Amino acid sequence: MAGVLTSKGQSAIGQDQDDTMVVPYTTVQKKLTGNTYLSNMTIEAASPDEIQAVAGAVSALLRERHRLQPGEADDFTVRTLEEMTNVLTSTTSTMTWLLASVAAVSLIVGGIGVMNIMLVSVTERTREIGLRMSLGARKRDVLRQFLVESLALSLAGGLAGILLGIGASLGVSQLLSWSVSVSPASVILSFACAAAIGGFFGLYPARRAAALSPIEALRYE
Range of the domain at 193: 99-219
Confidence at residue 14, expressed as pLDDT on a 0 to 100 scale: 65
- What mean pLDDT comes out for the span 128-151? 87
For residue 8, being part of any structural domain is answered with no
Q: Which of 79-83, 84-88, 156-160 has the highest mean pLDDT?
A: 156-160
Query: Half-sphere exposure of 100 toward its Cβ, with a 13 Å CA cutoff?
Result: 6
For residue 221, name the pLDDT band (cuts at 50, 70, 90).
low
Residues 35 and 117 in one domain: no
Residues 105 and 72 in one domain: no
DSSP 8-state code for residue 209 = H
Q: Which of 46, 78, 110 is the last residue of a domain?
A: 78
Does the pLDDT at position 64 exceed 90? no
DSSP 8-state code for residue 121 = H
What percent of the chain is modeled with pLDDT above 70?
A: 96
> What string of DSSP letters covers 35-102?
-SS-S------SSGGGHHHHHHHHHHHHHHHTTPPTTPPPSS----HHHHHHHHHHHHHHHHHHHHHH
For residue 12, name the pLDDT band (cuts at 50, 70, 90).
low
CB-based burial label for 104 (10 Å; 0-12, 13-18, 19+): exposed
d(CA 191, CA 155): 7
For residue 201, being part of any structural domain is answered with yes
Q: Are 158 and 191 in contact (CB under 8 A)?
A: yes
Confidence at residue 73, expressed as pLDDT on a 0 to 100 scale: 87
Q: Over the stretch 170-207, which tens digit does the pLDDT of each residue have?
A: 888 888 777 777 888 888 888 888 888 888 998 999 99
For residue 15, name the pLDDT band (cuts at 50, 70, 90).
confident
- What mean pLDDT comes out for the span 111-137? 87
Q: Over the stretch 19-51, which tens digit does the pLDDT of each residue have?
A: 887 888 888 888 887 777 777 888 888 888 888
Confidence at residue 101, expressed as pLDDT on a 0 to 100 scale: 92
Q: Which of 28, 43, 78 is the last residue of a domain?
A: 78
Tell me how many domains the chain contains.
2
16: which strand partners?
A: 10
For residue 63, being part of any structural domain is answered with yes
For residue 107, name the pLDDT band (cuts at 50, 70, 90).
confident
